[in-house]
Amino acid sequence: MSSVHLYDTTLRDGAQREGISFSVVDKLHITQKLDGLGIHFIEGGWPGSNPKDNEFFRRAKSLKLHQARLVAFGSTRRPGAKVATDANLRALLGAGVGVVTLVGKSSASQVTQVLETTLDENLNMISDSIGYLKEKGFTVFFDAEHFFDGFKANAEYSLRSLEVASEAGADSLVLCDTNGGSLPQEIMAGVEAARKRSAVSLGIHAHNDTELAVANSLAAVGAGVSQVQGTINGYGERCGNANLCSIIPALKLKMGIDCVTDEQLAKLTEVSHYISEVANLIPDAFSAYVGASAFTHKGGLHVSGITKWEDSYQHVDPTKVGNEQRVVVSELSGKKNIIYKARERGFSLPLHGEQAQKLLEQVKLLESRGFQYDQAEASFELLAHRAQPDYKPPFELVDFMVVVEKRRRRPTRRGSEEMLSEAMVKVKVGDEVMHTVAEGNGPVNALDQALRKSLLQFYPSLAQVKLVDYKVRILEESVGTAAQVRVLIESSDGVEEWHTVGSSTNIIEASWLALADSLEYWLVKQGASAKQKG
């Protein structure tokens, strides 16, 4: 194929994923993002099915789209109904768009068992509905629902449904793998049979129930379809829809089909993450092309390779899809990982010097004790700082103690007793040792409060730093409460976020190590100097 049209159904099919509920404003913003990405057709929803979709189409009339055409989705008329009085078709007429996608049954079994009508009546429903909309001046895409399952069971009827839609004036016949159970070779066979029965352009609408929606969509393009339907991030009912974030770069970079411009392709990662955020879902770090780990290198052999030739362990240039190459350090690292990461963090380590080797050995030793630096780059950077002979930490721990009890705390309501968490911290800043005590709603919070109570006297700007996430993982479950634990802390100053790690058989000590790293990292990055007290 020399060209392929991209059809996005995130706002309808994608919203059928459990846990997603887009507001009208969300849908309007997503529409603009999809237009900027170069999507040709954006399905806005099903007019008449709910008030939200009705409002979307009303408000979408004011959007200034540069490329995309809005599409309204609906079904063929009901069995035995007249097209002119069918409520669904009347709602499509009032949506205010020029393109309509009509879904109709193309599986004989679906017609008799689900629609509970005759095979001939279903064909009449397809013909009448498409013909009616064409008379009104619409561009009409026919979604041949359950086409591939129907084709396997009764090929003649499924193909006849396409012929009827074509004869009624459909502008494109979209073959649907509605249950998501087809294999690529079955998709290709169905497309090839459809091409022989109709001269109308074909499309593909694949679901991901066998993890093959992207493969099936690309196989369909190879067999001759010119429209690909899908959703951003593969959102959709059950296991999801075909993922346009994988399909678009595959079409352009692998198959040579310029479905979007280079500039539009470079927006792919940003659009993917934006829609994840709007959907209130965490972006999948391991998604192809757009995931944070898609171009991340951890193994020492791999990092050694990419430092010599970037394409040695990545299939495309990540910047083409708006992503970036990353290197992480771990017990699997080689010296090249350490040098690469240290230089990225602002340290210049010689290729053949001992400093990088010593730092690598320290990382491997600490990871054997439960630390994990591929998820705690701020703690790794502190290791690099501490390896410098002239490094002076902004503070040093002298001692700490944590008390957790309930004897001294009176009940706040009948039948309940609050636990008391109290921490004592001794910290040295310069030549001065500070001894502070603080309470908290838990031992880690009490430690945090006591440490800040000391440090804020010397570093007032530290008040900006907040702990935003705290995770604990048991590393050796078989030894029960004696197990090694790893604590990961995410901190933020309102502008940037960073991650630190601590590990110990004592959860309080592990928390302290991660917490102290968090504050030390920020002070070092800010170049903060201790102020004189008073």
- The predicted pLDDT at position 295 comes to 87
Cα–Cα distance, 28 to 52 (Å, whole number): 12
CATH T-level assignment (fold) for domain 73-260: TIM Barrel (3.20.20)
Cα–Cα distance, 297 to 391 (Å, whole number): 29
Locate CATH 3.20.20.70 in the chain.
Answer: 73-260
Instruction: Identify the CA nearest to 349 among candidates 368, 336, 362.
Output: 336
Inter-axis angle of helices 155-167 and 119-135, to 10 degrees? 20
pLDDT in tens, 219-251: 999 999 999 999 999 999 999 999 999 999 999
- The predicted pLDDT at position 412 comes to 57
Structure tokens at 296: 């991340």
Q: How many residues does the chain have?
A: 534
Which CATH number applies to 396-526?
Answer: 3.30.160.270
Of the ranges 8-17, 28-37, 360-369, which one carries the lowest mean pLDDT score? 360-369
- The predicted pLDDT at position 325 comes to 80
Is the pLDDT confidence value at 534 over 60? no
Whole-prediction pTM? 0.76
Locate CATH 3.30.160.270 in the chain.
Answer: 396-526
* 276 contacts: CB under 8 Å, gap ≥ 6: 233, 282, 283
Of the ranges 129-133, 214-218, 394-398, which one carries the lowest mean pLDDT score? 394-398
Structure tokens at 305: 């390779």
- The predicted pLDDT at position 437 comes to 93
Q: What are phi and psi of 500, to 5 degrees?
A: -130, 160
Contacts 24+ apart (CB under 8 A), 440-446: 443/402, 443/404, 443/508, 443/511, 444/470, 444/508, 444/511, 444/515, 445/421, 446/402, 446/421, 446/422
What is the average pLDDT score of the chain? 89
Tell me the helices (H) and strands (E) count for the chain, helix number first: 18, 16
